C-alpha cells in the first residue's frame, strides 16, 4: 500500500508516517520499482498500537525503546512486557486523577444546578403575590 493509502487508513498524515519511519518507530518500507514506499497492510496494526501508546501519554522515547526491542524479536518479550507494565501503572494513575477531576466537576455542576433551582423558586415566589390576612 502506498503512503497516501496508509495515511488515509491510519488517520495519520503522510508527513507523520515518514517522520515515524525516520526516527525508527516504523520499519523502513519496501520500495516499488519507481522507488515509492510500499507498505504491507500489517503495518496498520502497529500504527494503531502506537496511537494507543501516544493517546495514553507514553513519551516518544519510550515508544522508540519499545520499537527497538520489538525489532530484536522474541528474546526481548520480557523487557517489552515490563515496559508496558510500567506504562500501565502510569495510565492507571492518570485514570484515577481524571476520576477525581470528574468528581470535582460533577460537584460544581450540581452546585450550579442547585443555584438555578433556588433562583427559579425565588422567581416563582415573587410572581405570586402573597395573600394578606
Q: How many CB atoms lie under 10 A from the CB of residue 72?
A: 11
3-class DSSP state of 60: helix
36 — phi, psi (to 5°)? -85, 150
Residue spans per domain, the chain: 1-55, 77-127
Options 1.10.1660.10, 3.30.43.10, 3.40.50.720, 3.30.70.260; CATH of 1-55:
1.10.1660.10
Computed on alpha carbons and rounded to an integer, the radius of gyration of the chain in Å comes to 27
Q: Residue 25 has what DSSP assignment? A: S
Q: How far is CA 24 from CA 65, 85, 102, in A?
A: 10, 22, 37
What's the pLDDT band for 32 if we cut at 50, 70, 90? confident
Does the pLDDT at position 17 exceed 70?
yes
Work out the pLDDT band at 130, boundaries 50, 70, 90.
low
Amino acid at each position: 500500500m502506498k503512503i497516501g493509502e496508509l495515511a488515509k487508513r491510519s488517520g495519520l498524515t503522510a508527513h507523520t508516517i515518514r517522520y515515524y519511519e525516520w526516527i525508527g518507530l516504523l520499519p523502513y518500507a519496501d520500495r516499488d520499482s519507481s522507488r515509492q514506499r510500499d507498505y504491507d497492510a500489517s503495518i496498520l496494526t502497529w500504527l494503531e498500537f502506537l496511537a494507543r501508546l501516544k493517546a495514553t501519554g507514553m513519551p516518544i522515547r519510550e515508544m522508540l525503546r519499545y520499537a527497538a526491542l520489538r525489532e530484536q524479536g522474541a528474546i526481548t518479550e520480557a523487557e517489552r512486557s515490563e515496559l508496558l507494565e510500567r506504562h500501565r501503572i502510569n495510565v492507571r494513575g492518570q485514570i484515577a486523577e481524571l476520576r477525581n477531576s470528574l468528581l470535582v466537576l460533577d460537584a460544581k455542576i450540581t452546585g450550579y444546578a442547585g443555584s438555578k433551582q433556588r433562583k427559579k423558586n425565588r422567581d416563582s415566589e415573587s410572581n405570586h403575590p402573597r395573600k394578606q390576612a
